[in-house]
A and B are shown apart, each in its own frame.
Chain A
């Protein structure tokens, strides 16, 4: 069974631009969560989508947004990029999401560099 895929794997943008990252979950998984990982802050939770609805949101500014499609694929958008947005963005999928003791499967991540 195919794992979680993320595209693109690497991305370079300049300040002020916007970016869209994509995540395809494992087939059948309805929950997709997004995370930001930086050397300074470690892993931080961005948001979780379940059946096309945002179910939880972390403490990030409104420049970070996402959506989930009917096939459970999810996109994350960051507008007006700042240097501090440079990070590894990870998505994870599961059957039910973090509220249940349900294994989350992570993708390889998208490495975003903001110049």
Chain B
């Protein structure tokens, strides 16, 4: 069964600090991996998309890495801001006929001043 596990479940950091969120998956065959940011009461917003051949993708202060061999991804946030407080969701899409996305439960990040 395809699964996506995210850790930690929640994280509290001080403004200006860096943090790293983890995503492990068992989805196979692999098509692509996406990281989304979801503010409370809003729809998710795409941060990065990576395919099998990509191991790093950046979007401003957000940098995602992918290790397709170990089936692990991380999202690194640099110099956090109060507006980074949100849920971060990892999504892995399977290939091979039906491109069904499997979602992680998300990491809830709170940035304190």
Secondary structure class of chain B's binding surface, majority of residues: strand
Known: A42-B106, A101-B51. A106 touches B43 (CB 8 A): yes
Q: How large is the interface on A (under 10, 10 to 19, 20 to 34, 35 or more residues)?
A: 20 to 34
C-alpha gap A101/B66 in the complex (Å): 14
Q: Is the CB of A90 within 8 A of B101?
A: no
Between B46, B91, B95, the greatest number of chain A beta carbons within 10 A of the residue's beta carbon is seen for B46
Whether, in the assembled complex, B98 has its beta carbon less than 8 Å from a beta carbon of chain A, the answer is: yes
Q: Is the CB of B32 within 8 A of A101?
A: yes
Query: What are the residues of chain A within 8 A of B31 when measuring CB–CB?
Result: 98-99
Known: A42-B106, A98-B93. A103 touches B46 (CB 8 A): yes
B 41-62 to A, binary, CB cutoff 8 A, 1 in contact else 0: 0111110011100000000000
Question: How many chain B residues touch A (Cβ–Cβ < 8 Å)?
Answer: 24
Q: Is the CB of B51 within 8 A of A56?
A: no
Q: Is the CB of B106 within 8 A of A56?
A: no
C-alpha gap A106/B38 in the complex (Å): 10
Contacting A at CB under 8 A, from B57-113, are 89, 91, 93, 95, 98-106
Q: Which B-chain residue is minimally distant from A43 (CB atoms)?
A: B103
Q: Is the CB of A105 within 8 A of B46?
A: yes
Q: Is the CB of B43 within 8 A of A45?
A: no
Interface residues of B (CB under 8 A from A): 31-32, 34, 42-46, 49-51, 89, 91, 93, 95, 98-106
Interface residues of A (CB under 8 A from B): 4, 42-45, 48, 55-58, 90, 92, 97-99, 101-109
Residue contacts A-B, CB under 8 angstroms, 12 given: A43-B89, A43-B91, A43-B103, A45-B102, A56-B98, A56-B100, A98-B32, A98-B101, A99-B93, A99-B95, A99-B99, A104-B46
